[in-house]
Chain A
């Protein structure tokens, strides 16, 4: 099974600060069809997870463009350019290239 590792486990930020979360995969997530099925989710307190970015870098409808996904192969990054209060919560990377689909352990974004 694909293992996803996220760093850091906890991220303390001030409002307006730019931050990045890393997600590393134990195998390449590039599918034979050329798509990298690496997705990012946010889970706010008391809420189900919500899709932010899919297929490595595509912004889900309604998601602010301060969120950016990048990377290739086995190394991926989610960047938030200017943290807002609504961004606080847990962030998960998840791969859907290989069955079984697998999730990273999560990164908690909190206010400093």
Chain B
């Protein structure tokens, strides 16, 4: 059974940082392209970042508006992907999902990030 479990969300003040983790199982993580996507309170979905697999030199892509603030990384030995989020803003408030493959085959349940003073 495929599982993706996001952790690390919570309430944080503007300007602070959070690191999200996504632990996976049930599929071949090492060859999967992994993504982070968020869903705003208005239900809009927004792609944030993708990290490709080793055969593609772990190539990384970002949404322009989060480049420089968010960093995606992966640990194939732990079948996990991460999202370091710095200088958080109130508009970053959302449910954050990790997904597997560039066609979003698998999704986690999401972790809620609330940025508020």
Q: Is the CB of B43 within 8 A of A103?
A: no
Inter-chain CB contacts under 8 Å: number: 53
* Shortest Cβ distance from B46 into A: residue: A103
Q: Is the CB of B103 within 8 A of A96?
A: yes
Q: Which residues of A lie under 8 Å from residue B50 when comparing CB positions?
A: 99, 101
For chain A, the bracket of interface size reads 20 to 34
Q: Is the CB of B110 within 8 A of A37?
A: no
Q: Is the CB of B61 within 8 A of A49?
A: no
Q: Which residues of A lie under 8 Å from residue B35 when comparing CB positions?
A: 101
| CA distance in complex: A54, B64 (Å) | 25
* Shortest Cβ distance from A104 into B: residue: B45
A103 touches which one: B47, B107, B109 (CB < 8 A)?
B47
User: CB within 8 Å of B: which of A8-37?
Assistant: 37
Q: Is the CB of A102 within 8 A of B107?
A: no
Asked if A54 meets B103 with Cβ closer than 8 Å, knowing A48-B108, A48-B110, the reply is yes
Q: Is the CB of B45 within 8 A of A60?
A: no
User: CB within 8 Å of B: which of A62-112?
Assistant: 90, 92, 94, 96, 99-103, 105-106
Q: Is the CB of A51 within 8 A of B102?
A: no
Smallest beta-carbon distance B107→chain A, Å: 4
Q: Which residues of B lie under 8 Å from residue A99 when comparing CB positions?
A: 50, 61
Per-position contact with A for B16-57: 1 when CB-CB < 8 Å, else 0? 000000000000000000010000000111110010000000
Q: Which residues of A lie under 8 Å from residue B110 when comparing CB positions?
A: 48
| CA distance in complex: A94, B43 (Å) | 14
Smallest beta-carbon distance A18→chain B, Å: 25
| CA distance in complex: A99, B45 (Å) | 15
Q: A48-B108, A101-B102 are in contact. List 11 more A-B contacts (CB 8 A).
A: A37-B102, A48-B110, A49-B45, A51-B103, A51-B104, A54-B104, A92-B45, A94-B47, A101-B35, A106-B43, A106-B45
Q: List 7 A-B contacts (CB under 8 A).
A: A49-B97, A51-B105, A54-B104, A90-B43, A96-B103, A99-B61, A106-B45
